[in-house]
Amino acid sequence: MRVKNLIMKKIGLILMVLVIAGIGVINAQQRTITGKVTAAKDGSTLVNVSVLLKNTNISTTTDMHGKYKISVPSRGGILVFSYTGFATKEVHVGKKSVINVAMGADEEEIIMELDVEVEAEDEVALSEVYYKKDSKRLSKAAEMSLGGMMHGITADNFHDFNTEEYDHISENIFLDPFNNPLSTFSIDVDGASYSNLRRFLNNGQMPPKDAVRIEEMVNYFTYDYKDPKGEHPFSIATEVSQAPWNKQHKLVHVGLQGKMVDYEDLKPSNLVFLVDVSGSMSAANKLPLLKSSLKLLLNELGENDRVAVVAYAGAAGLVLPSTPAIEKEKIISALDRLQSGGSTAGGAGIKLAYKVALENIIHGGNNRVILATDGDFNVGVSSTSAMVRMIEEKRKDGIFLTITGFGMGNYKDGRMEQISNAGNGNYFYIDNIKEARKVFVTEMRATLFTIAKDVKIQVEFNPAKVQAYRLLGYENRMLKSEDFNNDKKDAGELGAGHTVTALYEIIPVGVESEFVQSVDELKYQTPKKDAQSHGGELLTVKFRYKQPDGTTSKLITNVLKDNSAKLDKTSNDFRWSAAVAQFGMLLRDSEFKGNASYSDVVAMAEGAKGEDKEGYRAEFIDMVKSFSLLAQK
């Protein structure tokens, strides 16, 4: 019996040990690694460094204090730290639970890992590098002809952190309708500003004021306007009510709805992917995200569509000639071969991309260059004005332009906005793969099919009703009054199914306001002292547009009566756009924000969310809630 008891005790101990060991194994399957990432040069913290567990999709980024947290398997692995302008660093996890990393400047010589054949080039003092299947590795002679631009690239070629650039925005002020009876501007369907400022807010940062373009915030969202009927490719919706941030003022909502196209009978597309593979594109949220984004678009193309790939760094090169889109493996292989390195010859890249698009143009089809970059051009034709002039010439061939921006730290927003405006184009900012899906899957098919170009809006206000008015946003899209009837003046494009929304804040006649500024009476002309009522008309909206291949514009006129509805009786579209615009004024700390508050933005947005299939409106509400907590600190 004693022997039996001893045996049972030993068995019990063994089982206990096995259970404890098993628990240890289970607990050891995953463990958390924490740490801080700094710059080796001065010890400053690095924000938004990509931290990736090598050969997996497990990743994170550093927070505002340079700190990170990531789960790794019990066996460890290798953490890859990457950041713009710094050498990528790999660290073996081993048994460590805390890994602090000091990153140094990237001083390695980088060469694009693609086969090339060199041709002498032109006024931009560069060579076009044509990438061909059977061409040889870059020769010594080719290196000399390129002037070493693709070799010897050091940290000196990259901008320091936080060299982002935004064009200055002088916010629209209130104007009186006697001295300024007309408000004229080009439409804008771009949403780049919204996704870019979302990147700042999600990182707990206040975006620069000039990064906040209110019209792009409002137009990031779609609206439930009526489908167009009749000869014109879009419908018009107008509405007026009280301005939420100033109850003595009124808010006018103007909306356009582009007609849908039959996606079963689409015109073929000739697309050229123009990819920035310069050294500044090495971060995880740049070239790797860019590749994934373009692959999403490939899945949306059909058997009649064609794709070419042009890359540029120290010089521009044809990576893939125009290829049927159904040959996805071939196109994906070309994208996967792209590696970052070198300076940024943006001008040469755009020139070559348009050349390739023109050589493969589909008459009656959709011809478009899709530029993917951080906008940090620094070689050849690189000034914004020079590139705008070049793009203005290229658009005459009927080739449209879409710009997709990536990354942070050296992002050049103003440059890309101006280039897209000049090129019959659209401009997006891709901050994550979800946004890539929105741009390249949900919306790109509509973007590719332009239904109206050079769309201009001109509003005339009735001085019997309107003491002063102010257009919210569109500061970079303002036109002269004379430009409205000038068919040579370029303006914005409207894609199939796209919506465009514009808001005016109005100070009614008889309301005292600090924003109404008087001007001296004119000497040589007498302004009207007694304005006619015109049957209660508040304003007249006029639209001009051209067919995608047309040269002569068509005119539409719409009159808005002064039938102001109570705010809670307005449409979801009215209140949603008002909430988004109000948030934009808060971010800009606008002098016209009145009684605007984050809580009012949330309350109005929640009441106007409506149907939200993709969840973009819910995301906006959550973002405002989160940021309002930070703003209170």
Determine which of 73-82, 95-104, 387-396, 534-543 has the lowest per-residue pLDDT on average: 387-396
Predicted confidence at residue 10, as pLDDT, reads 52
Query: What is the share, in percent, of the chain residues with pLDDT greater than 70?
Result: 79
Shared fold status for 28-103 and 182-261+451-631 = yes
Per DSSP, the residues of 114-165 read S--EEE---TTS--EEE--TTPPPPPHHHHHHTTTTTS---GGGSPPSS--B
Q: What does the DSSP 8-state code read for residue 520?
A: P
| 405 pLDDT higher than 80 | yes
| 382 pLDDT higher than 70 | no
Predicted confidence at residue 218, as pLDDT, reads 97
Task: Choose among 525, 473, 498: nearest CA to 171.
Answer: 473
| 58 pLDDT higher than 90 | no
Angle at the Cα of 11 from the Cα atoms of 5 and 15, rounded to 5 degrees: 145
Predicted confidence at residue 530, as pLDDT, reads 56
| 436 pLDDT higher than 60 | yes
| 22 pLDDT higher than 60 | no
CATH T-level topology, domain 182-261+451-631: Immunoglobulin-like (2.60.40)
Q: Taking a C-beta distance cutoff of 8 angstroms, is the pair 505, 470 a contact? A: yes
Predicted confidence at residue 109, as pLDDT, reads 27
Predicted confidence at residue 342, as pLDDT, reads 57
SS (H, E, C) 376-408: CCCCCCCCHHHHHHHHHHHHHHCCEEEEEEECC
Report the DSSP beta bridge partners of residue 160: none
- Separation between Cα atoms, residue 347 and residue 161, nearest integer Å: 24
Q: Taking a C-beta distance cutoff of 8 angstroms, is the pair 399, 308 a contact? A: no
| 2 pLDDT higher than 60 | no
184: helix, strand or coil: strand
| 107 pLDDT higher than 50 | no
Predicted confidence at residue 161, as pLDDT, reads 47
Q: Taking a C-beta distance cutoff of 8 angstroms, is the pair 301, 366 a contact? A: no
Predicted confidence at residue 423, as pLDDT, reads 65
Query: Mean of the per-residue pLDDT values for the chain?
Result: 80
pLDDT in tens, 534-564: 778 999 999 999 998 889 999 999 999 988 8
Q: Token pair of 294, please?
A: 């373009």
- 232 vs 350, residue with greater confidence: 232
Predicted confidence at residue 284, as pLDDT, reads 78
| 159 pLDDT higher than 90 | no
Angle at the Cα of 334 from the Cα atoms of 329 and 337, rounded to 5 degrees: 120
As a whole number, mean pLDDT of residues 386-391 equals 74
Pick the CATH number of 28-103 from 3.20.20.300, 2.60.40.1120, 1.25.40.80, 3.40.50.300: 2.60.40.1120
Determine which of 161-175, 348-362, 609-623 has the lowest per-residue pLDDT on average: 161-175
Predicted confidence at residue 529, as pLDDT, reads 55
Sign of CA dihedral 59, 64, 66, 70: negative
Predicted confidence at residue 12, as pLDDT, reads 53
Backbone angles phi, psi at 254, to 5 degrees: -120, 125
As a whole number, mean pLDDT of residues 466-485 equals 95
What is the rounded (10 degree) CA torsion for 203, 204, 209, 214?
Answer: 80
pTM over 0.75: no
| 384 pLDDT higher than 70 | no
Q: Where are the domains of the chain?
A: 28-103, 182-261+451-631, 269-448
| 603 pLDDT higher than 60 | yes
| 16 pLDDT higher than 70 | no
- 382 vs 29, residue with greater confidence: 29
Q: Token pair of 624, please?
A: 């405002």
Give the CATH superfamily of 269-448. von Willebrand factor, type A domain (3.40.50.410)
Determine which of 6-10, 303-307, 512-516, 605-609 has the lowest per-residue pLDDT on average: 6-10
- 316 vs 368, residue with greater confidence: 368
Residues 6+ apart with CB under 8 A from 453: 424, 491, 493, 494, 545, 546, 547, 548, 550
pLDDT in tens, 336-372: 888 877 555 566 788 888 999 999 999 888 899 998 8
Predicted confidence at residue 164, as pLDDT, reads 80
| 119 pLDDT higher than 60 | no
Highest mean pLDDT among 318-332, 336-350, 410-424: 318-332
Q: How confident is the model at residue 285 (pLDDT cuts 50, 70, 90)?
A: confident
Instruction: Report the chain's terminal Cα–Cα distance, integer Å.
Output: 73
Predicted confidence at residue 587, as pLDDT, reads 95
Helices and strands in the chain, H and E counts = 14, 24
- 299 vs 552, residue with greater confidence: 552
Q: Taking a C-beta distance cutoff of 8 angstroms, is the pair 260, 227 a contact? A: yes
Q: How confident is the model at residue 505 (pLDDT cuts 50, 70, 90)?
A: very high
pLDDT in tens, 208-225: 999 999 999 999 999 999
* CA distances (Å), origin 544, targets 449, 459, 481: 19, 12, 13
Report the DSSP beta bridge partners of residue 503: 253
- Separation between Cα atoms, residue 486 and residue 454, nearest integer Å: 10
SS (H, E, C) 343-358: CCCHHHHHHHHHHHHH
Q: How confident is the model at residue 157 (pLDDT cuts 50, 70, 90)?
A: very low
Report the DSSP beta bridge partners of residue 462: none
Q: How confident is the model at residue 84 (pLDDT cuts 50, 70, 90)?
A: low
